[in-house]
Chains A and B, each alone.
Chain A
Amino acid sequence: AQTVTQSQPEMSVQEAETVTLSCTYDTSESNYYLFWYKQPPSRQMILVIRQEAYKQQNATENRFSVNFQKAAKSFSLKISDSQLGDTAMYFCAFMKTILTGGGNKLTFGTGTQLKVEL
Chain B
Amino acid sequence: DTGVSQNPRHKITKRGQNVTFRCDPISEHNRLYWYRQTLGQGPEFLTYFQNEAQLEKSRLLSDRFSAERPKGSFSTLEIQRTEQGDSAMYLCASSGGREGGGYTFGSGTRLTVV
Contact = CB atoms under 8 A, between A and B. Distances in A.
Interface stretch (B14-22, B62-70, B73-81, B100-108): B100-108
A11 interface: no
Interface of B: 3-4, 31, 33, 35, 40-45, 48, 55-56, 91, 93, 95, 97, 99-108
- List 8 tightest A-B contacts by C-beta distance, closest first: A108-B42, A33-B100, A47-B102, A45-B105, A44-B107, A44-B105, A108-B43, A91-B42
Interface in A68-102: 91, 93, 95, 97-98
Interface string A100-112: 0001111111110
Contact of A52 (B100, B103, B106): B100
Contacts of A91: 42-43
Contact of B103 (A43, A103, A106, A110): A106
Contact of B33 (A4, A52, A105, A111): A105
A contact face: mostly helix, strand, loop, or mixed: strand
B11 to A, nearest CB: 16
A21 B114 CA distance: 36
A110 B107 CA distance: 18
26 contacts: A33-B100, A43-B107, A44-B105, A44-B107, A45-B43, A45-B93, A47-B102, A47-B103, A47-B104, A50-B102, A91-B43, A95-B100, A97-B99, A97-B100, A103-B55, A104-B48, A104-B95, A105-B33, A105-B45, A105-B56, A106-B45, A108-B44, A109-B42, A110-B40, A111-B41, A111-B42
